[in-house]
Structure 1
Amino acid sequence: MFPDAPIYTTLYHPEGTFPEFAEAKIITSRLNRVGLFRHHHRAALPLLPLASSLMKVPSGTAIVSSSGWAHGFRYKGPTVVYCHTPARWVYLMEEYLGTRWWKRPRGVAVKLLHPLLKRWDHHAMAQRDYYLGNSTVVQERIRNIYGRQDVGLIHPPHAVDTGGELQPVPEAEHLLDGNGYFLVVSRLLPYKNVDAVIEAAAVAGKRLLVVGRGPLEMELRSMAHDDVLFVKDLTEPQLRWAYAHATALVAVSYEDFGITPLEASAWGVPTIALRAGGYLDTIRPGVNGIFTDTATAPDIARAMQEVQELPWDPEAMKAHADLFSEQRFAREIDELLRRFTGPPSDAPPR
């Protein structure tokens, strides 16, 4: 929407994010000079409150895309905060760190820093003009945690191009032998519940393709059976291929919004989703997916069987995904900016 606007961010690792950012003007904090932090941003946690507080955004109006740090930058003019969630590491620690948080250095650090992080976060929130959530659960969470009642809601878009090139994932080509496979597209973190999906696939006797990377990769690989394939760093054509040929997507983490079911729907692929979080906004049972009430292996295994027995209409799924298009998102953001700040004379920074 704002191709000429500068992007202010704490850390930027070009090789680790979308290549389109290479065309933008990126302004980073001083932490970005440390290669360790660029590659492993969680290691910078103790320094991020200070680094964020020192980030100055001199432009008139700022659109702040934040899940914890960007709303704490120093802004010259009005701010509209598109909040993906109040900081998960402050308010949903057990979910973010996992139940055995004390066994990880990051978990210990977050626990020790919690009082400081909470004070910093509430101070940052108090400086901002307007918040909107990306799902109904996040909208309500903002109200409950921050005590703000005037909170808007705009669902994020998906950006699936079903007309783009499909390129087979080399390690996964054998999955097209007619027996099908279930798909997980996720960061490999404790709250994503990928371990439960792996267990469920073993119980149900299903093949599973896991797309993603994260700190639990080796642990998950060690527990996986022979019919689980892990891949990462896929190209866009390869990710399209993975979606296009899947039997169903499995998404059983508690997500603030959760974009992957919409990406699957755009390909006419149903989703097994946890009945919680943002999936309550994006899943229409019987249209583009089914719910499982828990993220346990037995419930997921039952859902794997059920989703294969139901009749699905790919065109209805695609029509549902179209409700979350980039065009709709751009229109709603533009209407908000015009209502909140008036017609912008300059492109605001992102």
Structure 2
Amino acid sequence: MKTALVHEWLTPKATGGSELVVKEILELIDAQLYALIDFESSNPQSYLYGRKIGTSFLQHFPLSKNGVQKYLPLLPIAIEQLNLTEYDLVLSSSHAVAKGIITRPDQLHICYCHTPMRYAWDLTFDYLDRTSALKGFFARYILHQLRQWDVISANRVDYFIANSHHTARRIWRCYRREAEVIYPPVQVDEFPFEAQKSDFYVIVSRLVSYKKVSLIVEAFNKLGKPLVVIGDGPEFKSIEAIAKPNITLLGSVDDITLKKYLSSAKAFIYGACEDFGIAIVEAQACGTPVIAYKGGGALETVIDMETNPDTGTGVFFPSQTVDSLIDAVNTFENLAPHFRAENCLINAQKFSLKIFQDSYQGFVDQCLNRFSSK
């Protein structure tokens, strides 16, 4: 059986959870890889170095290596130009347009959906609020067209997989399609477990608006407690400008440094409403508890210490405000003496690589059996 795997983009800057899913699918299934753009097969540090990868016409556009999002109106057209007619099975790993690949009726298409296209849905008004009036007029039209295409292209998928129940609900809301929930793989065994914690808090995140890192910094400005911020992005300078001396901004760091801070922190802070949030699980694999916004995938990956004192792995704050986070940090400080690092590790192991491999392969086999019997 000839198999293709389609992802949005492969660049040295794209190293998140969706790219980890692509890597693990390729470990399980012998598939030809396709993407809108590819700058990883020429990157000696990448596991894809030297691999033949099919790409779209966007590969040759100026500055595409820095992100094809700037060509947003062209993404649906570009993904539809990838010719996969020679394959029996098409797998997609989609957080924007990869699911929109065109297939024949006798080809099976299974989509692992990390999120319905955020530009068209959840982040629409966040984007428009930061756009001038003239650009906003055209942006509204483009996003309207994208939403229409996004819903139509969902009908090209035979079976959906969601990375969390939160994402499955969003898939139903946007596309009216059911989705099997298979949590993404987390390299639990690669993170050092440490029961003894130091007296600082840590964030690991891209510094973009919806991650709410500026909100966390403002809260810790008031608390006066030590906070380490790991990550880079467009908000780095604005966050640096408001950060008080108790806050350390490290920018991007290597894996050894990242794991050292994650394992020794008193708690990991997370302010975004994520579809899953792999960093939350990685922190728990280190035995580090989590203080997270009470929404999204965090509700599936963190056990509330207030309601489950014997097995709890973190504390939630109910609204994305400075005061709400401050209250949660104070609650955590009161509960910290009762916290057990082993609970975090036990919880993190529910999202291990082995569980993903077994679940994903099992679901693909099940879909193949259903499809062949029709």
State TM-score, norm by structure 1: 0.86
Q: Please list the CA deviations of residues 75-123 of structure 1 after superposition, one character each: whole Å capped at 9, or x if unmatched.
A: 35211111111111111134653x7322599877643311211121122
* Structure 1 residue aligned with 2:347: 320
> 8 Å contact 1:337–1:343 — kept in the other structure?
no
* Structure 1 residue aligned with 2:180: 152
* Structure 2 residue aligned with 1:74: 102
Deviation at 1:248, TM superposition (A): 0.8
Deviation at 1:308, TM superposition (A): 2.9
**Structure showing greater relative contact order (alpha-carbon pairs closer than 8 Å, 6 or more residues apart):** 1
- 1:242–1:104 distance in 2 versus 1, CA, 3 Å: farther
1:30 pairs with 2:39 = no
1:54 pairs with 2:84 = no
Letter of the 2:151 counterpart: H
Deviation at 1:330, TM superposition (A): 0.6
Deviation at 1:16, TM superposition (A): 9.0
- 1:23–1:158 distance in 2 versus 1, CA, 3 Å: farther
SS of 1:21's equivalent in the other structure is coil
Q: Distance in 1 between matches of 2:126 and 2:113?
A: 17
Q: Distance in 2 between matches of 1:230 and 1:16?
A: 28
- 1:17–1:271 distance in 2 versus 1, CA, 3 Å: farther
Q: Structure 1 residues 155-164 or 137-146, which shifts more? A: 155-164
What RMSD in Å do the two structures reach over aligned CA positions?
2.8
Q: Distance in 1 between matches of 2:138 and 2:260?
A: 40
Q: Distance in 2 between matches of 1:56 and 1:66?
A: 17
Deviation at 1:199, TM superposition (A): 0.5
1:87 pairs with 2:117 = yes
1:270 pairs with 2:296 = no
Q: Distance in 2 between matches of 1:185 and 1:191?
A: 14
Q: Distance in 1 between matches of 2:138 and 2:266?
A: 41
Q: Structure 1 residues 326-335 or 107-116, which shifts more? A: 107-116
Q: Please list the CA deviations of residues 176-230 of structure 1 after superposition, one character each: whole Å capped at 9, or x if unmatched.
A: 9x96221111111111111110001111111221112222222222222222222
* Runs of at least 5 residues in structure 2 that lack an aligned partner in the other structure: 1-24, 306-311
Q: Distance in 2 between matches of 1:151 and 1:29?
A: 28
State TM-score, norm by structure 2: 0.81
Q: Distance in 1 between matches of 2:257 and 2:202?
A: 13
Q: 1:223 aligns with which of 242, 248, 264?
A: 242
* Structure 1 residue aligned with 2:269: 250
1:13 pairs with 2:32 = no
> 8 Å contact 1:204–1:302 — kept in the other structure?
no
Q: Distance in 1 between matches of 2:193 and 2:313?
A: 24
Q: Distance in 2 between matches of 1:242 and 1:199?
A: 21
* Structure 2 residue aligned with 1:299: 324
Identity %: 27
Q: Distance in 2 between matches of 1:237 and 1:105?
A: 46
> 8 Å contact 2:200–2:227 — kept in the other structure?
yes
Equivalences for 1:95-134 in 2 at 5 Å? 97=127, 100-103=129-132, 110-134=139-163
